[in-house]
Amino acid sequence: MNAHSFRVLIFGRDQDALLTLQHVFKNAGLDITITWDEADTRKWARTMQFDVSLLCDCPPGLMAESLRHELGNKPRCQLIVLVASRGEIEHFGRLGFAVIDKRDPVRVLEQVQQCTYAAAA
């Protein structure tokens, strides 16, 4: 799978963090959509095909669980939760989510690419 074909949706509440991620992902050649609006996130998740959906700064489990349910009929889309604390890593890990530490945008990109390549194999 070519990195240019990846479509990534990122939802988060911190606009500065989203813009930083957008910049890093676009520089890597990925097709990225960012939003800080929950309704837009749900609409795009239902109507567009993304390879990866990243959730950042979401309420523990609430948004992630409901979005996982909505994406259930789109097996190609991988849902990853971006977190900043050990407690969040453990919480979302217990819920069965793929989890990435969000504090380093370049590392987020690397891990998203690894997850996506592994899913495509």
Which residue ranges make up each domain of the chain? 9-120
pLDDT at 1 over 50: no
User: How far apart are alpha carbons 76 and 91 in whole angstroms?
Assistant: 24
* Coil/strand/helix, residue 43: helix
Pairing of strands 31-35, 7-11: parallel
Q: What CATH class has 9-120?
A: alpha beta
**Nearest in space to 68 (alpha carbons), one of 49, 85, 45, 90:** 45
Which residues in the chain belong to E strands, given as ranges? Answer: 7-11, 31-35, 52-56, 78-83, 98-101
Taking only the tens place, the pLDDT of each residue in 55-104 is: 887 665 567 777 777 766 555 678 888 988 888 888 888 888 888 888 89
Global confidence as pTM:
0.81
